[in-house]
Amino acid sequence: MLRKAALGLAFTLMTISAASAAEKVTVLLDWFINPDHAPLLVAQQIGAFKDEGLDVEIIPPSDPSTPPRLVAAKQADVAISYQPQLYLYAQQGLPLVRIGTLIDAPLNTVLALGSSGIKTMADFKGKTIGYSVSGIEEATLGTMLADHGVKLSDVKLVNVNFQLVSALLSKQVDGVIGGYRNFEANELKERGADPVVFKVEDNGIPTYDELIILANKDALGEPKLKKFLAALKKGTEYLLAHPTETWEAFAKEHKDLDNELNKTAWRETLPLFDKDPAALDTARYQAYAKFLLDNKVITKDLPVSDYAVELK
């Protein structure tokens, strides 16, 4: 009896020791949990983080603008953010660096309704276009229009405060910029509309990574970051090999997101996830920096190594 108790105590102590050995990693999302985060969620589902000795906590933000700044202040380990925003952080001198990529293709689009008669970007001349965030989106729209011989001053811009779909459907605007090809475009279809989708990379904008992973520069030597990226890669591989199974697990855990729109987004985002999250395409980052410089969104031409790295 005493021997059994001793063995039980030893097992309990071993379990506690193993649990305490797991390194904590706090991940701040860019937005509420959604299919764009699938590789992270699947890595959690299949125990990939635990296998790397990590205790990962995934936290949606109360304010989407704060996660990078919390990482810069060392109040979290990593934040999900956007490549276009990364250059602004670098220009501001924030100690942030891209260590990985979640989605390696743009999601941003310009959307119009088929009933509007708009078939090319040139057809927006004299029209009204809604937007949500000034700065980069204005530079993006201006370049897309210029690629078709139209000036930004030839259109009227209206801030629709993230109500992109409703502004378009109510005909408050003729088009919107900022709608994602895997969400808003599908929401329009779901609501009976026939969206015309203009992809940014097909209309003069250099391609870029949509969702990236940021860490504090002071943390780059911490082994847990490499472990995190290794687990994320396993999550991506499993997701791509088991899209239906992982969707069903996601839908079961997040019942409020179990609907046709999110299911479609889950499926359509699969080809856009980076299969090697740690890898860095330096030329891509240089090309997008040039685009921002040419459009005076940023004023400093910083070396890519200042704000994006591939952990070795």
Range of the domain at 83: 21-105+208-306
Strand 78-82 with 195-199, pairing: unpaired
Identify the domain boundary among 168, 202, 236: 202
Please count the structural domains in the chain: 2
User: Do 43 and 74 belong to one domain?
Assistant: yes
In a domain, 13, yes or no: no
In a domain, 12, yes or no: no
What would the pLDDT profile of 123-165 be if each residue is shown by its tens digit? 999 999 999 988 899 999 999 999 999 999 999 999 998 899 9
Q: What is the CATH number of the domain that holds 299?
A: 3.40.190.10
pLDDT of residue 21: 76
pLDDT of residue 145: 98
At residue 77, the 3 state secondary structure works out as coil
Question: Quick check: 111 and 195 in contact, CB under 8 A?
Answer: yes
DSSP string, 199-252: EGGGTTPPP--SEEEEEEGGGTT-HHHHHHHHHHHHHHHHHHH-HHHHHHHHHH
User: Do 155 and 123 belong to one domain?
Assistant: yes
Beta bridge partners of 273: 103
User: Do 214 and 302 belong to one domain?
Assistant: yes
pLDDT exceeds cutoff 80 at 17? no
User: Do 46 and 159 belong to one domain?
Assistant: no
What would the pLDDT profile of 182-219 be if each residue is shown by its tens digit? 999 999 999 999 999 999 999 999 999 999 999 999 99
Report the residue count for the chain: 312
User: Do 169 and 119 belong to one domain?
Assistant: yes
In a domain, 258, yes or no: yes
In a domain, 9, yes or no: no
**Which pTM value belongs to this model?**
0.92
* Neighbouring C-beta atoms of residue 286, cutoff 10 Å: 15
pLDDT of residue 20: 54
User: Do 155 and 192 belong to one domain?
Assistant: yes
User: Do 58 and 27 belong to one domain?
Assistant: yes
- HSE at residue 12, side-chain half, CA atoms within 13 A, is 6
User: Do 180 and 215 belong to one domain?
Assistant: no
In a domain, 15, yes or no: no
Chain mean pLDDT for the chain: 94
Spatial strand order of the sheet with 23-28 comes to: 54-59, 23-28, 78-82, 211-216, 96-103
User: Do 157 and 244 belong to one domain?
Assistant: no
What would the pLDDT profile of 76-92 be if each residue is shown by its tens digit? 999 999 999 999 999 99
Beta bridge partners of 109: 179, 199
pLDDT of residue 4: 44
pLDDT of residue 14: 47
Identify the domain boundary among 202, 217, 246: 202
User: Do 212 and 284 belong to one domain?
Assistant: yes
